[in-house]
Amino acid sequence: VRTYTGLAARTQLCALQYDTVIEITTLSSSSGGNCALITHSGRSILIDAGISLKRTGVYLSALGVNIRDVDTILITHTHSDHVGNLRMLTKHLKISVVSSAAAADSVSKYLYPGTRHVPIAPGDEITAGGMSVIPFRTPHDCTGSVGYSITADDRRLVFVTDLGIVTDEVMAAAIGADLAVIESNHDIKMLKTGPYPSYLKNRILSSQGHLSNDLAGEFAVDLARKGTRHILLAHISLENNTPELAVRTCIGRLASAGASPHDCSVDFAPQFDMGITYKV
């Protein structure tokens, strides 16, 4: 299944060259459900709550993490593939929820009564799981949609899916991260010639929709030029893309820009399964 295990193996080797400070594993990444685990010094946080409590628990225990020890869920936005299981998770776990202030009202509808909810303005900083977390606005057709920049000691990762274009604000937040999880949603040709109705095609292609492979590739080039060592392509469409095509497009853009695969690895987040653990 994993065509790019060579790259993954290289990533693991790279990780051995310095102490690991932050680890990230995507648990599911697509319109079918989104969730990722980030750990630092034995503490854990999740990004989004798009898969069931049971699946989340099974994946976490496979990673050696007890789901009851997760202290915070960061919510990117309130589309159902990101918050569909938030009520169940907050019902059964003693867990704090962080969202943008603009999304606070819509997020609160998904919370089990009594859940600690911390709305935060984009650009402000909070601590979650011992890590510094800063949300930044993303252009997406959902009020208060954000990505997150997460730092521990001198290591930083950025997580940004569900965005129509890479705005200056997104670029400013992402540039300089050691690892970037970026959306590579669709191949434009596959989308345009595919089965979706035109209103949906237009929604996805709009500046408030989802990021194409081409735009993700350009984004990756800018990030790699400023020192990002790992690009993880996420939220890959099931109908209008394939993981292989997303990775190939991104590697092609990086190669055209003169980046060596040794400088910046490219891999994808599996759409319905746990990915490998990246260490920065």
Q: What residue ranges bind Zn ion (CB under 5 A)?
A: 79, 81, 162
Provide the b/e sequence for 154-167 (b: ≥16 CB within 10 Å): ebbbbbbbbbbbbe
Residue 12 burial by Cβ neighbours in a 10 Å radius (0-12, 13-18, 19+):
middle
202 phi/psi in degrees, rounded to 5? -65, -40
Instruction: Give the shortest CB-50-to-Zn ion separation in angstroms.
Output: 8
For residues 7 and 204, which CB has a smaller minimum distance to Zn ion in the complex? 204
Compute the distance between CA of residue 215 and CA of residue 217 in angstroms, rounded to an integer. 5
For residues 103 and 180, which CB has a smaller minimum distance to Zn ion in the complex? 103
Instruction: Give the shortest CB-91-to-Zn ion separation in angstroms.
Output: 23
For residues 23 and 162, which CB has a smaller minimum distance to Zn ion in the complex? 162
Is residue 67 within 8 Å of 60, Cβ to Cβ?
A: yes
Instruction: Give the shortest CB-159-to-Zn ion separation in angstroms.
Output: 12
Is residue 211 within 8 Å of 184, Cβ to Cβ?
A: yes
For residues 79 and 203, which CB has a smaller minimum distance to Zn ion in the complex? 79
Ranked by CB distance to Zn ion, the top (closest) residue is 79
For residues 162 and 178, which CB has a smaller minimum distance to Zn ion in the complex? 162
Compute the distance between CA of residue 146 and CA of residue 135 in angstroms, rounded to an integer. 6
Instruction: Give the shortest CB-40-to-Zn ion separation in angstroms.
Output: 25
